[in-house]
Amino acid sequence: MAGRYQGRVAVITGGASGIGAATVRKFVGEGAKVVIADMQEEMGKKLAAELGASVHFQRTDVTHEDQVKAAVDSAVAKFGRLDCIFNNAGFGGAAGPVETISVQDYDITMDVLVKGVFLGIKHAAPILKAQGSGTIVNTASIAAFYSGIGPVLYNAAKAAVLQMTKSMALEFGYYGVRVNCVCPGVIATPLAAGRAGASAEVIDKMRDAIGGEEVLRRIGNPEEIADAVFWLASDESSYVNGHALVVDGGRTAGLPYQKQTDWLKKPRELRLYRPEGR
């Protein structure tokens, strides 16, 4: 049985680990050819070797325009076309009180989280616009909506990605190309664990440590974000454009039940007000 993305080609930045790797697996499982564009060469090559001829690894630092262009070009050179770019590469960025953040740390944070998305869109644009079809999916975050979830620069960068997505959707929609973003909550990835290459054991400890505080009493899995990304890229979302798809288990809906005060959780007798004489 053919997959839902049979014969199509995607570039996935940050595709060697975490959400990116789960999305590579999802796309390949649905019949796609995929270019993994990532700096993590050992992990990227290992994943490509595991998944076979449908996957090509291209070492890519998304802060360098020539390398992003090379990743996009490699999709066309290797597989003959481009149908989707998932601009996913990222990291936590500079943290701490604002007076402690250097300009250099500010620059690298914004370069990875914002410029990297812009460059992916820029170099996919000529191909997708010319063929009049395709999709662009960007990784934003629930931090784009609510402060206090990530460091200040991470929050600001993800808000920029959300607005870039909406603005680009208006431009690309004219050419028949859709642009959307996914906004994950807390997901069991090396990024959420605080360091690249975090072991499964470290990630499991993070699940145990913070999962109980979430609405669903667990944190999310990378595969759950991959499913959302695939939906945004596929024909199943053919009239979805300029949308920020929140996948957070309810985190942005409000306080988890276990944190609500007793008067919200416990039933109370309903006392109706009746005017005198009624």
Look at residue 174 and give its three-state secondary structure.
Answer: coil
Structure tokens at 158: 């993800």
69 is catalytic: no
Phi, psi of 255 (to 5 degrees): -70, 135
**Residue among 17, 115, 154, 237 flagged as catalytic:** 154
**Residue among 17, 74, 158, 234 flagged as catalytic:** 158
Contact 198, 214 (CB under 8 A): no
237 is catalytic: no
146 is catalytic: no
For the purposes of burial, counting CB atoms within 10 Å of the CB of 65, is it exposed (0-12), middle (13-18) or buried (19 or more)?
middle
Strands laid side by side in the 9-13 sheet: 55-59, 33-38, 9-13, 84-87, 135-139, 178-184, 244-247
- Give the distance from CA 228 to its chain's centroid: 9
**Residue among 5, 17, 26, 141 flagged as catalytic:** 141
Structure tokens at 268: 């109370």
* Placement of tokens 């664990």 in the chain: 193
Contacts 24+ apart (CB under 8 A), 166-172: 166/242, 166/244, 168/121, 168/136, 169/241, 169/242, 169/243, 170/242, 172/125, 172/128, 172/129, 172/136
Active site residues: 141, 154, 158
